[in-house]
Amino acid sequence: MALEKKSRVASPKKTIVTQKKKTSVTKKTIAIKEDASSSKKNLVIVESPAKAKTINKILGSNFVVKATVGHIKDLPKNKLGFDAENGFIPEYVTIDGKEKIIKDLQESAKKASTIYLASDPDREGEAIAWHIAEIIKEAVSQSKKTISPDIYRVIFNEITARAVKEAIENPSSIDMNKVNAQQARMILDKLVGYGLSPFLWKKIAFGLSAGRVQSVALKLIVERQKEINAFNSEEYWSISAEFVGSVLPNIMASLHKYKGTTVIEKTKTKNNFLIKDESTAHDILSAIKNERYHISSIEKKLKKRRPYPPYITSTIQQDASAKLRFSAKQTMAVAQQLYQGLELGKMGHVGLITYMRTDSTRLAPEAIAWSRELISKKFGKEYLPEKPHIYAVKKSAQEAHEAIRPTYPQYEPNVIKEFLKPDQYKLYNLIWNRFLASQMEQAQLEQTSMDIIDSKEQAVFRASGTIIKFKGFLALYTDDTETDKDQAILPNVKEGEDLKLIEITSDQHFTQPPPKFSEASLVKALEEKGIGRPSTYAAILTKIEERKYVEKEARIYTPTELGVVVSDLLVDKFPDIINTEFTAKMEDDLDIIEEGNIVWNSVIKDFHTQFTKDLSAASLNVEKLKPADVVEEINCEKCGKPMTLKWGRNGKFLACSGYPQCKNAKPIDAASSSKAQVEVVETDEICDKCGSPMVIKAGRYGKFMACSNYPSCKNIKSKTTGVKCPEDGGDIIEKKSKRGIFYGCKNYPSCKFIINYKPINEKCPDCNAPFLLEKKNKKGDITVFCYNKECKFKVVRRLPDS
């Protein structure tokens, strides 16, 4: 049931409004004032402890701020959790480990006069707020309280004093349309996962999985690889010349036309090359190398370049990849830290940027105002446009959201650099520069094109150059990924002037296939095709990597054999679902649900009907498939037969072709070439048992260091974590057992200290404990918490569902 139907209004001054209505809300200024006479306090509930700390500093002692540490309710893991015959109404269960948090929230709610649900301003945040409201109402109804606390939804895009207090003074109610859109996405994803994953187990291999959105992302990568494999490279030649005129510098030009025909003509559909081989290039060189040349025309154009809009989720992921070499997941994790707030010495806990999951380029008027004041002060009035730049917003963008921007003008990157970790500073500096640049004056460029012709008018050479007349926004921000071919500086010469040919050369070229997808280009493609939304891009990329359907090297994706087999099977048997158009339409339907213009379970019903038919047909008509075994040029050292490259649930491995008579098998480096090599990397370390060199090998649990004298010496060394044991000061190292990875003191058995979670060499910001621990769940969400059990420090880096 919607919150607005259950929430009670305590006084005429408190008016609850839905986000869809334009009703005004009376300012609740009394809620923010300190009230020493009142025994009850206002309760604010957010997702993360870091966010709670920042908000608590803003609101003061009249408020208690609690954190849910992410979602508290979810669908059950061991079953669908909804029934098609019952309208797909979800059956929610408490997430493991959240019982204590729920109990604490319920107890705090009983003591509160007013409750504010301040989870993130997106669908995930709205669902969290709804679940919190439900568990609070349940607890209050079971208590002996005669008066229930008022429950409000508050939304802000930045954690600043102005934004938080304004939200508290202007509360609203839970937007059930947003909740329903989140429920619809969650149920759609589970329907596809529960249907396709067992299908893959039967047809390819046990343990594989597929998802509604990530399968389409995999399809894009596989299709691009097939384009590359099918590409036929074409040879062509270019001719370049160096001329000198009456003034320096010399002019570098390329042959543009020969006997009236364009030398290189490239279009979207076809490339035409006049010079296709060395013989033709030699003939043209011979014909023109002794001619006299002059300038036939000079054309100058003044071009203005508009600044780039401030960041949205997709563009910050692309730019951070290109400029900082951050992965999408890393970018979002660091951005979340900047948004939730960081400790800035005497300045306290401060939220440094606006909400980072957004597809809107809108900027708040006050942000535009302070950016213009800062630009005028730092760069001069000539760098300030007459009117602020306003950027177009996509139809699908959240109207209430803003672009990603800094929250305070006084916290310039260099001013607070000492308080930030390197990754935090780099990303914050990028956001700061892009935001300020978006409000600066346009750059003015003078583009010059010069044609040089021979005396017989056979050959036309063209030289191009660009001069920056006024830097404008380029004084602060440039896009390194945008290559400008016309950067050469040309001399101040005149039309008709004779030139002397200094040198003329020919160069061989070959047409290139389309590039493989990088993280940045894949995010851009997903955005352009309408696949996924800002909150899901990082999770999509993470999942296809974790499932070993793609390999990533130098941020470039290549599909594995397994990925190709899985993608081809899904595309062949589910063409109506695993395609970009359908996936984009589903995203549009979710947006329409959020707008309140369509019933959420009707969308699920339509999808479920067709998907069930396709799944039944596919299950009957497909034989068992698996990636083909590849015979390698490596012989088994036990029996002499060739080794074969095989696929198992843990990836590639080498196995003897003489199986089952010979059961020799070896792990390989999954990133190696098709000529598979057993992964053995030499190191400078010496075995402390026999004195032989230590080498790095790969096993089923990952890489480890072992003696090169194996099997005579079976000494191994585990990977160190860089953290010292709190009991005896020894190194804490990674260890492995049949149950998985754990961590313990290097000095075992004299020291028996062990922990199950990965230690991080960072002091706890709350209790100053020597290190933190890291826990990762199946969704890829990472929880960082204190080693000290009495300390409640905990930060969640949530990856949303895709």
CA distance 762 to 100: 26
Amino acid found at 410: Q
Residue 112 CA to its chain's centroid (Å): 38
Among positive and negative, which fits the CA dihedral 604, 605, 607, 613? positive
Which residues partner with 303 through β-bridges?
445
Who contacts 260 (Cβ-Cβ below 8 Å, separation ≥6)?
none
Nearest 5 degrees, angle CA 342-CA 344-CA 350? Answer: 50
Q: Which of 308, 339, 355, 428 is catalytic?
A: 355
What letter represents residue 333's amino acid? Answer: A
Tokens coding 505: 């050369």
What is the C-alpha to C-alpha distance for residues 333 and 316, in angstroms, rounded to an integer? 12
Residue 521 has what DSSP assignment?
A: H
| Cis status of the peptide bond prior to 307, with omega within 30 of 0 | no
Closest by CA position to 355, among listed 556, 125, 190: 125
DSSP per position, 20-42: TS-------GGGTS--TT-S-EE
Q: How far apart are CA 194 and CA 36, in angstroms?
A: 55
For residue 702, the SS3 value is strand
DSSP string, 440-481: SPPEEEEEEEEEEEETTS-EEEEEEEEEEEE-GGGGT---TT
Q: How many helices (H) and strands (E) does the chain have?
A: 18, 35
The verdict on whether 743 is a catalytic residue reads no
For the record, the structure tokens of 20 come out as 């869809």
| Sequence-distant (≥ 6) Cβ neighbours of residue 340 within 8 angstroms | 48, 50, 51, 54, 159, 351, 795
What 261-268 contacts at long range (C-beta under 8 Å, 24+ apart), as own/partner pairs, is 263/238, 263/239, 264/236, 264/238
With b meaning 16 or more CB within 10 Å and e meaning fewer, what string describes 690-721?
A: eeeebbbbbeeeeebbbbebeeeeeeebbbeb
Q: What is the maximal distance between C-alpha atoms in the chain?
A: 103
3-state SS of 336-354?
A: HHHHHCEECHHHCEECCEE
| Alpha helix segments (H runs only) across 90-155 | 99-110, 123-142
Alpha carbon distance 557, 563 (integer Å): 11
Q: What are phi and psi of 239, to 5 degrees?
A: -125, 125
Which burial class, exposed, middle or buried, applies to 279 when counting CB atoms under 10 A from its CB (0-12, 13-18, 19+)? exposed
For tokens 């107890």, the residue is 107
Residues designated catalytic: 355
